[in-house]
């Protein structure tokens, strides 16, 4: 590890020490109390083979930073508004280009019926709407087969509206929480998908469209057991430019979804100091690209099972097994440039990740995590999952071990 990287980590720790006395701030505005919360994290990743998450991790990289600040206020007992700004640096992604994470007006008519609108966090599975709140989670990196950090903005939020509520079931059968939503989704040009496309000479100017779906989760009569399912549909248009080779002028293109959907099923069980989570996600992306009449179908499947146990008030240990696979087929005039990839046993079409993790809560506001990842495969197919050709110009090795360190503060 270089002295520069070591100094950066130590400097981050010093900043965290200075921040830990902070608590949520409040101030008055038009006789309303406005609450202010924030968070920040700094990480370091070292891998023995293959660069990961667009960072130069084979040399050790601390380009793993994010932070956010939100404000909210209760206008009436039933009406609340709030917003959050967010920024991050993850290797070649983010690069400190700030974004509006969410901005919501929420009116709860009854416990069983509410509406919210604005830029709303998408309810998809257990953790999509809380994935950036590191202090809530045991792991420095959530299972990447279902929550890829390089594709964070792909499912995080939509500009539109939700209908939601909780229904208490009779005969002591627990309760149901439902969400139905529709809106517009738009990827940042600093996301993993845009970076991934550059290997094909593609410069994407927009990747956006209609997004709608629903989520239903059941808090069962068995205390601590939650099960649920989510469905998300999208109608995506991808516009950009394509270079067919050095010295050749760019050609504009447009890609339109024929089918674009995600199914997700999940469960969580919490008993005393033990928490067990499991999820399965399938994502199908079928698109037509013009003017070359190219059709590509990517079928991405991921699942994981995780467990964590709080040893003491300050210390928790955890582990998960995460399994990602992808198949890709192409048709049309340009199909010879995109060979089919259908054998998921090949390292290029999967990532299997075994993880062990430790978390220390140094106080109420500051945590530190250390994590080991033992990965087989690199998933270099038609959709990214952490490993990128541009970050690995010498090609890929079939196995990658990674050490992840992360410290976070919140107030």
pLDDT tens-digit series, residues 373-410? 999 999 987 788 899 999 999 999 999 999 999 999 99
Determine the 3-state secondary structure of 19 from DSSP: helix
Helix or strand holding residue 4 (H, E): helix 3-19
Task: List 267's β-bridge partners, or say none.
Answer: 227, 278
Mean local confidence (pLDDT), 60-76: 96
Nearest of 133, 127, 131, 138 to residue 152 by alpha carbon: 131
Residue 383 · residue 300 · CB < 8 Å: yes
Residue-wise pLDDT for 216-275, tens only, equals 999 999 999 999 999 999 998 888 777 655 555 567 778 888 899 999 999 999 999 999
Q: For 115-410, CATH number?
A: 2.40.160.10
Nearest of 297, 285, 304 to residue 353 by alpha carbon: 304
pLDDT, position 245: 58
Residue 336: CB partners within 8 Å, gap ≥ 6? none
pLDDT, position 231: 98
DSSP letter assigned to residue 24: -
Neighbours of 1 (CB within 10 A): 11
Neighbours of 379 (CB within 10 A): 26
Residue-wise pLDDT for 210-233, tens only, equals 999 999 999 999 999 999 999 999
pLDDT, position 278: 98
The CA distances from residue 191 to 121, 278, 385, in Å, are 17, 26, 12
Determine the 3-state secondary structure of 85 from DSSP: strand
Domain positions in the chain are 115-410
Task: List 329's β-bridge partners, or say none.
Answer: 297
Q: How confident is the model at residue 3 (pLDDT cuts 50, 70, 90)?
A: very low
Q: Please give the share of the chain, as a percent, with pLDDT higher than 70.
A: 91
Helix or strand holding residue 320 (H, E): strand 315-332
Residue 400 · residue 386 · CB < 8 Å: no
Instruction: Give the C-alpha separation, 42 to 67, whole Å.
Output: 9
Flag whether pLDDT at 6 surpasses 70: no
Instruction: Give the C-alpha separation, 262 to 281, whole Å.
Output: 7
Instruction: Give the C-alpha separation, 54 to 52, whole Å.
Output: 5
Nearest of 59, 3, 142 to residue 391 by alpha carbon: 59
Residue 50 · residue 58 · CB < 8 Å: yes
């Amino acid at each position: 590890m270089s002295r520069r990287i070591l100094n950066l980590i130590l400097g981050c720790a010093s900043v965290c020490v200075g921040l830990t006395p902070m608590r949520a701030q409040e101030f008055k505005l038009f006789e309303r109390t406005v609450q202010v919360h924030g968070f920040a994290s700094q990480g370091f990743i070292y891998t023995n083979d293959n660069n990961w998450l667009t960072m130069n991790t084979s040399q050790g990289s601390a380009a793993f930073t994010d932070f956010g600040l939100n404000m909210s206020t209760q206008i009436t007992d039933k009406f609340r508004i709030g917003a959050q700004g967010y920024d991050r640096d993850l290797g070649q992604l983010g690069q400190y280009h700030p974004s509006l994470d969410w901005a919501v007006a929420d009116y709860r008519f009854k416990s069983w019926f509410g509406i919210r609108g604005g830029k709303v966090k998408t309810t998809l599975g257990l953790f999509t709407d809380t994935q950036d709140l590191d202090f809530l989670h045991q792991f420095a990196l959530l299972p990447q087969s279902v929550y890829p950090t390089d594709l964070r903005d792909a499912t995080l939020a939509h500009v539109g509206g939700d209908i939601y509520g909780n229904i208490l079931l009779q005969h002591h059968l627990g309760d149901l929480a439902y969400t139905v939503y529709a809106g517009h989704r738009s990827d940042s040009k600093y996301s993993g998908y845009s970076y991934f496309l550059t290997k094909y000479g593609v410069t994407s100017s927009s990747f956006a469209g209609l997004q709608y779906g629903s989520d239903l989760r059941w808090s069962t009569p068995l205390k601590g057991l939650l099960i649920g399912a989510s469905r998300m549909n999208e109608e995506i248009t991808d516009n950009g430019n394509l270079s067919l080779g050095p010295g050749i002028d760019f050609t504009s293109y447009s890609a339109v979804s024929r089918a674009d959907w995600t199914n997700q099923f999940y469960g969580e069980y919490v008993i005393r100091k033990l928490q067990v989570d499991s999820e399965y996600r399938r994502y199908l992306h079928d698109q037509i690209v013009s003017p070359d009449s190219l059709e590509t179908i990517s079928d991405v499947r991921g699942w994981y099972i995780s467990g964590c146990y709080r040893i003491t008030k300050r210390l928790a240990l955890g582990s998960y097994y995460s399994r990602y696979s992808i198949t890709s087929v192409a048709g049309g005039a340009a199909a010879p440039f995109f060979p089919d990839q259908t054998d998921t046993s090949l390292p290029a079409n999967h990532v299997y990740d075994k993880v062990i993790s430790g978390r220390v809560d140094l106080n109420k506001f500051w945590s530190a995590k250390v994590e080991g990842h033992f990965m087989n495969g690199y998933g270099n197919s038609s959709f990214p999952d952490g490993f990128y050709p541009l970050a690995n110009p010498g090609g890929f090795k079939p196995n990658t071990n990674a050490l992840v360190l992360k410290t976070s503060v919140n107030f």
